[in-house]
Amino acid sequence: MKSFIFICSLSLMSQIASAYQPIVRTYYIAAEDVMWDFAPTGKNMLNGENIPSPWGEQTIYNKVRYIEYTDASFSTKKPQPSWLGIMGPIIRAVEGDTIKVIFKNKAAGDYSIHPHGVFYTKDNEGACYGFNATKKCAVKTGETKTYLWKATEKSAPGINEGGSKIWLYHSHINSVNDIYKGLLGGIIITAKEFAGKNGLPTDVDKEFISLIFIFNESTDEMNDEEVEGHLMHSMNGYIFGNQPGLVMKKGEKIRWHLIGMGTEVDIHTPHWHGEVVSHRGIYTDVVELLPASMLSVEMLAENSGQWLYHCHVTDHISAGMISLYEIQ
């Protein structure tokens, strides 16, 4: 009898361990030339006044964005949450899954998609150099390329991480230019033990991705004084409280996935008012982000109200690297 119970419990354990069946997750993503407004309300949403000079003088720029479609016809756009802003669609997978991205370049330049954190072969790297340099990596205007990436155990959250974690993807043909143009997005990988409906993690109620990045919209012809007004100190492509949709309910557990990007001026210290976050077991309300760093922190939303979420670097505050979030 004892051995029967033991065998039964072993079989139950293996059923739990293997409960998630990996799948292929397909995404249809285009690169498109767009106009982007860093302050669509036209106002500084912290005080209702005009966006201060020099950043308020021009807030609309030519950008290139990754845009998701429903199928291979690339005719129907898939909606994305308003808070995601300038970022491309969230590419989501569970440990063990294969990510299939059908990339269509609808923009004028040559672009690609290069992922971080997932497994890829040379043909699926989205970058050309060295022995690969003569291969065709640039997807030209009108062309389509299929990328296959694998969410392995090493892509998934480690032992000290939560049920899901963040990676990033971006174009890597002229990588510096491509990133500044706006071709970047987030990849969220869920641990297989925490895989719920649609691959969402079961250990949190909501996830946000937050890109902290100074978009340099200056040109070579500008002098130093002119340049400052074209350094858009943005959170997901929004300045001075213009980021919409950062709303959660009291009692919800939130995972904030943070991505830094940019150059040596992009030393950021995102800070939440009203709540603290837990980062690998340590409570804090400020975290450090360097260019191309990624980290995921958790917040238990208990303190109702509208709160500031901003970079704490002083001249970044002056330049409007500030959003608002709300606990309802």
- 248 lines the binding site for Cu ion (CB under 5 A): no
To Cu ion, the closest distance from the beta carbon of 216 in angstroms equals: 14
Q: Three-state secondary structure along 160-206?
A: CCCCEEEEEEECCCCHHHHHHHCCEEEEEEECHHHECHHHCECCCCE
Residue range at the interface with Cu ion (CB under 5 A); choices 111-119, 164-172, 196-204, 264-272: 264-272
To Cu ion, the closest distance from the beta carbon of 318 in angstroms equals: 11
- 313 lines the binding site for Cu ion (CB under 5 A): yes
Helices assigned H by DSSP within 166-324: 175-181, 224-228, 314-318
Closer residue to Cu ion, CB minimum distance, 31 or 214: 214
Q: Which of 202, 169, 166, 194 is nearest to 183 (CA)?
A: 169
The residue within the footprint of Cu ion, chosen from 316, 319, 324, 327 (CB under 5 A), is: 316
Name the helix (H) or strand (E) containing 14.
helix 2-17
- 235 lines the binding site for Cu ion (CB under 5 A): no
To Cu ion, the closest distance from the beta carbon of 19 in angstroms equals: 42
The interface with Cu ion within residues 132-161 (CB under 5 A) comprises none
**Phi then psi dihedrals of residue 120, to 5 deg:** -145, 155
- 63 lines the binding site for Cu ion (CB under 5 A): no
Contact of 149 with 99, CB cutoff 8 Å: yes
* Size of residue set near Cu ion by CB under 5 A: 4
Closer residue to Cu ion, CB minimum distance, 201 or 270: 270
To Cu ion, the closest distance from the beta carbon of 84 in angstroms equals: 20
Closer residue to Cu ion, CB minimum distance, 188 or 209: 209
Half-sphere exposure in the Cβ direction for 172 (13 Å, CA)? 17
The residue within the footprint of Cu ion, chosen from 311, 319, 324, 327 (CB under 5 A), is: 311
Residue range at the interface with Cu ion (CB under 5 A); choices 31-39, 112-120, 220-228, 262-270: 262-270
Contact of 283 with 304, CB cutoff 8 Å: no
Sheet holding 24-37, edge to edge: 60-69, 24-37, 98-105, 144-150
To Cu ion, the closest distance from the beta carbon of 313 in angstroms equals: 4
What is the Cα gyration radius of the chain?
Answer: 21
**Which residues make up the interface to Cu ion (CB under 5 A)?**
268, 311, 313, 316
